[in-house]
Structure 1
């Protein structure tokens, strides 16, 4: 079911979009730190980036694939703007008394290869995640939300991890290490989604009630580009 309110930007929708973009931008900055968790080496962004997938699930489940696709591309553009601002800030000559230029470059100055890998992995993973969830919703008649959220995350995160690790570190790490790193990130992020399933259920139910929406993408054109 959908309603005329679907065409409007409600306060709840804007809040969800803001949270999604914030999670994306923060995760890209915190990803530069590597942490050791239970013997596994992971980027610190692992604590927040999976939240963007949960929000993406909520967007698709409540507002439909087309709205989720718009938000995914908005996040991409915001991330591109942030990276450009960091690059310009790093290129500006530092004040003579400021000693943080090296630290700034190390944290905020990413190599072009890493940026390309991050952008491609994000777009592919998020769009596939939204597509799979929307398709499963139609196939299941809106039942078994847990199957849709976990199933779409397993597929989306697999693609995200494989693309990022493959592009960013191919030729730098042995093939076995590349596969191990991609699988580890995939499993950790997917487990995060599974553990957060009760929260996803609660947020989805709340938004459907507040918005009066429950969009099914039976006739949606599943183009990756938000055109037409």
Structure 2
């Protein structure tokens, strides 16, 4: 019996390839616009992960199945995006990007709360579903914000440190900074969001395994991004 290949990985590979190539192309051709492009991708990753996190999914590794928010497929992209910024524009710009992205998420929640305060049209049939999805508890929101600020700033710092100490080890600095920051993110978020209301250990393990697995899988795209910039830079300088 043939095993069905999950279509989610097709979307995952396609989207990651598009973002990586477009980012590298813009930086190579129009470096002054590269930072803005990377921040735009970074922000949409974060906004999308905040929205899809409300859906819990079954994560099947083939030999073990666990449950996690759907955002585990997107959240590791944040680490890659901040690494892409850090690699070209430096640690200071990476921290600036984190602040910009955080402000956009505060605004996103404000806009959702604002629209939720309005009375729905009498013929709008999906009000209950809408409210159940977009009425996140303040505890969940705060946990998400705290974990984001901690793990992304840590990622930026560790990546910059690894780059200065191991400048040739492209895969190492991206993978190591991602693993450390994504693990810490899982610990902080789950404890702050679910302590006293849900079993912490299964949720922490699920998030750590899923995020780090996907974080490792997307690291070759970062290496490709680095190689593309190096190769095309040498061509342009001839």
Normalising by the smaller structure, the TM-score range is 0.7 to 0.9
Is 2:142 the counterpart of 1:120? no
Q: Which residue of 1 aligns with 2:186?
A: 161
Report the alpha carbon displacement of residue 99 of structure 1 after superposing the two structures with TM: 2.4
What's the CA shift string for 1:150-184, capped at 9, x where partnerless? Answer: 111111111111110000000012xxx31231132
Q: How does 1:71-90 map to 2 (within 5 A)?
A: 71-90=97-116
Q: Which residue of 2 aligns with 1:101?
A: 127
Q: Which residue of 2 aligns with 1:27?
A: 49
In 2 relative to 1, CA 155–45 (structure 1 residues): closer, same or farther, beyond 3 Å?
same
What's the CA shift string for 1:14-44, capped at 9, x where partnerless? Answer: 2111110000001100010001121210111
Which consecutive unaligned segments of at least 5 residues does structure 2 have? 1-26
Q: Separation in 2 of the partners of 1:23 and 1:210?
A: 27
Taking structure 1 as the reference length, the TM-score comes to 0.83
Structure number with the higher helix fraction is 2
Q: What is the aligned residue count?
A: 202
In 2 relative to 1, CA 68–211 (structure 1 residues): closer, same or farther, beyond 3 Å?
farther
Q: Which structure ranks higher in relative contact order (CA pairs < 8 Å, sequence separation ≥ 6)?
A: 1
What's the CA shift string for 1:161-214, capped at 9, x where partnerless? Answer: 1110000000012xxx312311321222112121222211111233456689xx
SS state of the match for residue 81, structure 2? helix
What's the CA shift string for 1:110-136, capped at 9, x where partnerless? Answer: 100000000001110100011111111
Q: Which residue of 2 aligns with 1:148?
A: 173
* RMSD across aligned positions (CA): 1.9
Taking structure 2 as the reference length, the TM-score comes to 0.80
Which consecutive unaligned segments of at least 5 residues does structure 1 have? 213-228
What's the CA shift string for 1:34-65, capped at 9, x where partnerless? Answer: 01121210111111121111111111122111
SS state of the match for residue 97, structure 1? coil
Q: Which residue of 2 aligns with 1:203?
A: 225
In the alignment, is the contact (CA less than 8 A) between 1:150 and 1:190 conserved in 2?
Answer: no
Q: Separation in 2 of the partners of 1:92 and 1:211?
A: 52
